Amino acid sequence: MDAKVLIESFAEFAKSKNVDRPTMIRILEDVFRAMIRKKFETDENFDVTINADKGDLEILRIREIVDDNSEDIWDFDKISLTDARKIEPDFEVGEEVYEKIELEEFGRRAVQMARQTLIQKIKDLEKDLLFNQYEDLVGEIISAEVYQILGREVLLIDGEGNELILPKSEQISKDRFRKGDSVRAIVHKVEMVNGNPRIILSRTSPIFLERLFENEVPEVFDGLITIRKIVREPGERAKVAVESYDDRIDPVGACVGMKGSRIHAIVRELQNENIDVINYTDNLELYVARALSPAKVTSLQIDRENKRISVYLKPDQVSMAIGKGGFNIRLASRLVGYEIDVFRELSDYEEEDVDLEEFADEIDGWVIDELKKTGLDTAKSVLSLTKEDLIRRTELEEETIDEVFRILKQEFEQ
């Protein structure tokens, strides 16, 4: 294979991979200089000139002529007068010899290896370009097509045929994909694994929900409405705190849209995830009350030192504050950055009740805390439920619940 064929075939391959000309020339020169170093141990006194358009290659070895008896005669950049005159008979000591080295002098095997090296360098460059391309897209929404569904992940391809990965952990629990489906997600992270770029997508990240709001709500995209914080239980519920710096704009109304037109598009994308949009405020009491919506808070006490808030509600509001599966209170706690404890406001009849804390010497503290998480803070509130209700609403074992019932009932029997 001569230089022209090698360079032209490489140039054609490089162009098919969208490699720019300066990069292509740099790769060619790097490979040829590696060949020179392997044959001559150094490339310091070699000049390599490449014209990729014409397939031309010129390799010149540059050496200074020294006397045959000189001590420098063995230096890599020196040549004896006798050897120099074999190239050109009228050379003199002190002149420079420019000797053209043909590609064939490196040997057939070296040229074949150079060709493989060039192809590999382009493939490595292609991986680097893909990595850099998607690293710049981290946090942005992209669309890709499903082409293979595996147990722990879904493989997708983008418009250029690059492989993307949507792990099970980054899928909404209600997501169901089929080959050929178009999927929207954000670029979650990009990493190099054994020299290959691994592009991870996510549909569960709060950033995905933020980008959907930017797509559906022009005021958010334009910066007139700011999303202060998003917390999610993907596929179940989300809370989005929004704020407007323009008093003429209602941030909640703008995000929801006329008859819910804007929010419905987002809800559909997230497999009917229930999205609460609330007005952000620096007033913590008001912020907590809004975060616990749709429940109506009667009063609350804030322990700023321990980052806990005790919220008191009427009995019929407790279940709404906690929400199905406890999602509402968990998300509200994450949104405001405080642990929220829910308590029922007692009626006159219920004042005969006994606070669960009074059973601390008989019931383990973690059991009492687990009951309180579901709004059960008194003995009668616990006894008003069946064992099956408690098993469903808490993470307590059946034997533990039986023991709690026994202790509480004993109190009132006395």
Rounded Cα–Cα distance for residues 207 and 11 (Å)? 41
pLDDT digits (tens, 9 = 90+) for 144-168: 999 999 989 999 999 888 999 999 9
CB 359 within 8 A of CB 328: no
For the chain, residues classed under CATH 3.30.300.20 are 222-280
Closest of 275, 274, 202 to residue 242, by C-alpha: 275
Q: Which segments of 136-205 does DSSP mark as H helices, in order?
A: none
Average confidence (pLDDT) over 86-104: 88
> What is the Cα–Cα distance from 375 to 368, expressed in whole angstroms?
11
Just give the CATH number of 222-280: 3.30.300.20
CA-closest candidate to residue 165, choices 156, 174, 173: 156
Query: CA dihedral in degrees (309, 314, 315, 320; nearest 10)?
Result: -70
Stretch 289-298: mean pLDDT, rounded?
Answer: 91
Question: 218-226: long-range contacts (C-beta < 8 A, 24 or more apart)?
Answer: 219/244, 219/249, 219/251, 219/254, 220/254, 220/255, 224/249, 225/249, 225/251, 225/254, 225/255
State the span(s) of the chain assigned CATH 3.30.1480: 3-124
Cα 394 to Cα 138: distance, rounded to the nearest angstrom: 38
Q: How far is CA 354 from CA 134, 341, 412, in A?
A: 59, 17, 9
Q: Give the strands of the sheet with 225-233, arranged side by side.
A: 225-233, 237-244, 274-279
Question: Per the structure block, which two tokens stand in for 42?
Answer: 């150094």
The mean predicted confidence, pLDDT, of the chain is 88
Q: What is the CA angle 320-326-327, rounded to 5?
A: 90
* 355-361 CB contacts, 8 Å cutoff, 24+ apart: 355/379, 356/382, 359/407, 359/408, 359/411
**CATH class label, 137-204:** mainly beta
Class of residue 229 by CB neighbours under 10 A (exposed 0-12, middle 13-18, buried 19+): middle
Mean pLDDT for the stretch of residues 97-118:
84
Q: How far apart are CA 165 and CA 179, in angstroms?
A: 14
Give yes or no for a contact between 230 and 242, defined as CB atoms under 8 angstroms apart.
Answer: no
Over residues 291-298, the mean pLDDT reads: 90
Residues 220, 255: Cα–Cα separation, whole Å: 8
- At residue 349, the pLDDT reads 47
In single-letter form, the type of residue at position 284 comes to L
Specify the pLDDT at position 387: 84
Nearest-5° Cα angle at 181, 177 to 183: 85
pLDDT the model gives residue 149: 94
Residue-wise DSSP of 81-137: HHHHHHH-TT--TT-EEEEEE-GGGG-HHHHHHHHHHHHHHHHHHHHHHHHHHHHTT
Q: How far apart are CA 269 and CA 264, in angstroms?
A: 9
Q: Where in the chain do CATH 2.40.50.140 domains reside? A: 137-204
Query: What is d(CA 266, CA 281) in angstroms, rounded to the nearest whole number?
Result: 24
Task: Summarize pLDDT for 254-281 with one digit per residue, the tens.
Answer: 999 998 899 999 999 999 999 999 999 9
Nearest to 373 by CA among 386, 360, 361, 390: 390
The DSSP letter of residue 247 is T
In angstroms, rounded to a whole number, what is the distance separating the alpha carbons of residues 202 and 165?
A: 9
Token pair belonging to 61: 């070895």
The Cα 172–Cα 185 span in angstroms is 11
pLDDT at 54 over 80: no
Domain 3-124 listed as CATH 3.40.50: no
The answer to whether 371 and 400 are in contact (CB under 8 A) is: no
Bigger pLDDT: 373 vs 178: 178
CB atoms inside a 10 Å sphere around CB 130: 18
Asked whether the beta carbons of 380 and 350 are under 8 A apart, the reply is: yes
DSSP for residue 345: P
Does the predicted TM-score (pTM) go above 0.85? no
Tens digits of per-residue pLDDT, 335-364?
A: 999 999 888 776 544 556 788 888 888 888
